[in-house]
Structure 1
Amino acid sequence: MSVSNPTLITFVIYIAAMVLIGLFAYRSTNNLSDYILGGRSLGSVVTALSAGASDMSGWLLMGLPGAIYMSGLSEGWIAVGLIIGAYLNWLFVAGRLRVQTEHNGDALTLPDYFAGRFEDTSGLLRIISAVVILVFFTIYCASGIVAGARLFESTFGMSYESALWAGAAATIAYTFVGGFLAVSWTDTVQATLMIFALILTPIVVVLATGGVDTAFLAIEAQNPANFDMLRGTTFIGIISLLGWGLGYFGQPHILARFMAADSVRSIAKARRISMTWMILCLGGTVAVGFFGIAYFSAHPELAGPVTENHERVFIELAKILFNPWIAGVLLSAILAAVMSTLSCQLLVCSSALTEDFYKAFLRKSASQRELVWVGRMMVLLVALVAIWLASNPDNRVLGLVSYAWAGFGAAFGPVVLISVVWKGMTRNGALAGILVGAATVIVWKHFELMGLYEIIPGFVFASLAILIVSKLGRGPSPAMVTRFERAEAAFHQGK
């Protein structure tokens, strides 16, 4: 294993710190609510940074810089779409979802919320939404494990198979032990590390290429079209990239942070913190990929690993330009991005299996201690399936993420958004929205229709299905309307 000791030591210290946080959180985990939502006790700073870190997975430091390195600023439309989508999600969904879940049976999971909000006694809505979570999140988890494997493979010269297990082991450990509190506390540390890496790295890359003017000249010499945000794009291509922003409304691991906030009052402050963090991180990500073009065009002898796999651009720049100790910290930021998102996804899958299958249908009288341990076993189960899916070394991080992101955005996004703003939505409308959204994504992706990102038709068709079915069928019960109005009043009072 070719590895510099400082980098290895930095990784070991970082991973040990995350596991220690998990052990500390273990002491505060007494029941399933603690394990799944941290007892709804997150303040604004932890809510903000945890939501950001759980969102920005390995693609932030690998997939997106690689795309910018290959295609120039034209890939930056993704960042624009994400910023708009995240802001609207904080503005319209976050506070309302916090109070709606509390007023609808103190729901701990999205399927739990859907069942309570729409008085679904059949269990059909809960089962279908839980299945959607398991299918798309297992793919999403696989993307995180691929990113972790790439990091260990590139940094320590490990085989891909060994790197798979090394990258996943630490995340599984602290999620298994500490649950939601461990995930949220570690997310806060990881978000801080990520923003440090993404501000420092592009500055050093620019200095190493001789300054901004020299870097711009080198990028222009490599290909003047690198500066063109419309390069090689079409109207459909730009809309597809902007469409990534629609995904925020339906991501269970992000929505769980809103549900876990200590009060609606924390949401506004959390929104400001989270959006500032996100804009700085995405700006740094784009800068790493963009100025990486200049650095490697000036040093072609060092460009081999990046030419082989453009998603390694951040990794290679950190290894080349920094002291091994600093490089270890920067590369830990990739591990932080991977671990923060993967841990959230494992926990959401675990909660769906535990709360929405095991407790709802198999063991209604299960004790809290039993449910917590079932949740831990489910973390292991989902992790093993995700590792198996990630075992193909040809996987690309951004490709796996885009499919799972679209699946959630289309299946859950319209249901969540409309359910918190419209009291006329019905159970059959919600069911139609989930089924139409998920089916559209699968079919559209399979046939690659019009070259349009599948989340857009999925979101549109799911929204239409919700509105049409809700209007044509029997309306919501008086009790549903009353709960909605009380929750909406509580939201406005708490702002």
Structure 2
Amino acid sequence: MSVSNPTLITFVIYIAAMVLIGFMAYRSTNNLSDYILGGRSLGSVVTALSAGASDMSGWLLMGLPGAIYMSGLSESWIAIGLIIGAYLNWLFVAGRLRVQTEHNGDALTLPDYFSSRFEDKSGLLRIISAVVILVFFTIYCASGIVAGARLFESTFGMSYETALWAGAAATIAYTFVGGFLAVSWTDTVQATLMIFALLLTPIIVLLATGGVDTTFLAIEAKDASNFDMLKNTTFIGIISLMGWGLGYFGQPHILARFMAADSVKSIANARRISMTWMILCLGGTVAVGFFGIAYFSAHPEVAGPVTENHERVFIELAKILFNPWVAGVLLSAILAAVMSTLSCQLLVCSSALTEDFYKTFLRKTASQMELVWVGRAMVLLVALIAIALAANPENRVLGLVSYAWAGFGAAFGPVVLISVIWKDMTRNGALAGILVGAITVIVWKHFELLGLYEIIPGFIFASLAIYFVSKMGAPTAGMLQRFAAAEKDFRLNK
């Protein structure tokens, strides 16, 4: 354990700092809006970095570098798709969603927004969308807890059961206490740590392997096809990888950041900051995996752990090439990636249970502080269910992440996108979009049709359902009036 002591100390300091931020946010949490959306007070920097950090989980520092290490640059199509999807989401949805949620009953959650935007008196839209969020995000939370447990297990030699609680405890603590502000402030710190790790590590690996020319020659000597972007790919394979970008339009934890911005004027600057951060992080991730090929082919004596599990390429490079204290900081970046995403997912689940079930159906007259404490209780409830799901790592929860991403992207993506740009969308169109998107993903995944990622047909069919079903009816005068007022507000202030 002596080698790990600096890493352990670094982890403890980092976790303590995150919990401290949670207690600072606690003092600024006075009502449910503060707990769920930070009172719509986020500036452009926090909006940008928290949107980025909440999106990029442990996949950024483990999954993608490992895939590049194994297969070369042909695995980078997913990064290209994510960059395009994120940019279009910032461009078309972010600002409009910010004003639309404010003009539609000052909505705090996506189900709340759908219900107000389409004047759904039946509550059906709210219930269906809240159930979709709870089912998919509980699975998502479990996958984050598994990733955190694996990190603690491999770094400190803990048993999986101990690592499970150690990895989850700090995230639960600061989310429980500080709510949205704690999550957003810690996301900003975590995003900074992640970009530091992903810019520094490839540079040091490059120096260790003898510079750019030597590194590229070593990679080519190992396997020249590592440079081939089309290696072992098909047209459908590339489209499927790039299709991940469609998911951005429907991810509740990312859309919540847009809703929480202090004004629509902050969005343009936030977009520039967030996209710069994202491109640099993804570029660094690809470089870590790619340069790692050269390093471990030159040093086969230390390549054992990476050969056994290619997702350890970033972890092993950090431990080998850096002073233990610096390595501890770099490994904390993985914990940051896991914690930032998990905390957002816990909060979105808590918001759905509190705002969309408890307040709407059980206690319409509940006080603001009662709702805040119910929100905190829901964070604990969802966390405990997620830990129970993650308790058996053989459940392969991580394999369900792409399924959950597709589910949100197809069920909510077209509804959110079309609702903020097309005034004639109706309540029945929104219902049809959610149901067709979710059902298509489930059916397509089950039958594995054409080898195409299920988000693509789900997104297309949901969009068509929204259009044709909306055309069968007409929006009310109130819906048209609110849409026009929000669109005018957006255009005046963007």
- 1:331 is aligned to 331
SS of the residue corresponding to residue 311 of structure 1 reads helix
Answer yes or no: is the 8 Å Cα contact 1:249–1:413 preserved in 2. yes
Aligned-partner Cα distance in 2 for 1:333–1:256: 23
- Are residues 204 and 394 of structure 1, via their aligned partners in 2, closer, same or farther at CA, if it must alter by over 3 Å? farther
Which residues of 2 match residues 130-209 of structure 1 at below 5 A? Answer: 130-209=130-209
Task: State the secondary structure of the residue aligned to 1:38.
Answer: helix
Structure 2: how far apart are the matches of 1:401 and 1:227?
28
Render the CA deviation track for 1:437-473: whole Å, top value 9, x for unaligned: 111111211221111111101101110110111112x
Name the CA distance, whole Å, in 2 between partners of 1:228 and 1:129: 42
Show the counterpart of 1:123: 123
The answer for the alignment partner of 2:482 in structure 1 is 483
Aligned-pair CA distance for 1:391: 2.7
Moved more, 426-435 or 1-10: 1-10
* Identical columns (%): 89
Partner of 1:470: 470
Alignment of 1:334-483 (within 5 A): 334-394=334-394, 399-472=399-472, 474-483=473-482
Q: Secondary structure at the match of 2:404?
A: helix
Matched residue, 1:279: 279
Unaligned ranges ≥5, structure 1? none
One-letter amino acid matched to 1:383: A
String of CA shifts for 1:236-288, please: whole Å, max 9, x gaps: 00000100110000000000000000001000000000000000000000011
Equivalence map 1:63-142=2 (5 Å): 63-142=63-142
Q: Give the secondary-structure state (helix, strand or coil) at the position aligned to 1:365.
A: coil
Mapping of 1:207-286 within 5 angstroms? 207-286=207-286
| Cα offsets for 1:25-59 (capped at 9, x unmatched) | 00000110000000000000110011111111111
Q: Take 1:2 and 1:431, find their aligned partners in 2: how far apart are those partners?
A: 58
Alpha-carbon deviation of 1:96? 0.2
**Quick one: distance in 1 between partners of 2:64 and 2:146?**
15
Letter matched to residue 479 of structure 1: G
1:87 corresponds to which letter in structure 2? Y
Structure 1, 393-402 or 276-285: larger mean CA deviation: 393-402
Change (3 A) 1:360 1:395: same
Q: Secondary structure at the match of 2:232?
A: coil
Distance 2:27 2:334 in 1: 28
How many residue pairs match? The answer is 494
* Structure 2: distance between partners of 1:67 and 1:278: 18
Q: Which moved more, 1:45-54 or 1:300-309?
A: 300-309
Contact 2:183/2:343 (8 A) holds in 1: yes
Could you tell me which runs of 5 or more consecutive residues in structure 2 were left unpaired when the two chains were aligned: none
Question: Which ranges of 4 or more aligned residues in structure 1 deviate by more than 4 Å?
Answer: 394-398
Supply the AA of the counterpart residue of 2:124: L
Once structures 1 and 2 are overlaid, which stretch shifts more, 97-106 or 207-216?
Answer: 207-216
CA distance in 2 between counterparts of 1:314 and 1:108 reads 38
Q: Do the aligned partners of residues 305 and 487 (structure 1) sit closer, same or farther apart at CA in structure 2, a change above 3 Å counting?
A: same
Distance of 2:3 and 2:135 partners within structure 1 = 37
Matched, 1:493 2:466: no
Distance 1:311 1:399 in 2: 14
Contact 2:139 2:397 in 1 (8 A): no
CA contact (8 A) 2:4 2:155 kept: no
TM-score scaled to structure 1, two decimals? Answer: 0.98
Q: Verify the 8 A CA contact 2:3 2:324 in the aligned structure 1.
A: no
Identify the residue that residue 37 of structure 1 maps to in structure 2. Answer: 37
Matches within 5 A, 1:301-312: 301-312=301-312
Amino acid paired to 2:62 = M
Q: CA deviation at 1:406?
A: 0.8
Moved more, 106-115 or 147-156: 147-156
Aligned equivalents of 2:414, 2:80: Cα separation in 1: 21
Task: Give the direction of change, closer, same or farther, for the CA distance of 1:396–1:61 in structure 2 (3 Å limit).
Answer: farther
Give, in whole Å, the separation in 2 of the partners of 1:189 and 1:397: 27
- The answer to whether the 8 Å contact 1:59/1:397 transfers is no
In the superposition, relative to structure 1, how do residues 114 and 457 fare at CA in structure 2: closer, same or farther (>3 Å)?
A: same
Q: 2:267, 2:343 → 1: CA distance?
A: 23
Q: Does 1:8 align with 2:8?
A: yes
1:281 and 1:396, CA in 2 relative to 1: closer, same or farther beyond 3 A? Answer: farther
Q: What is the CA–CA distance in structure 1 between the aligned matches of 2:242 and 2:407, rounded to whole Å? A: 16
Q: CA RMSD in A?
A: 1.2
Q: In 1, Cα distance between the equivalents of 2:232 and 2:258?
A: 38
Q: How many Å apart are 1:395 and its aligned residue?
A: 6.3
Q: TM-score, normalised by structure 2?
A: 0.98
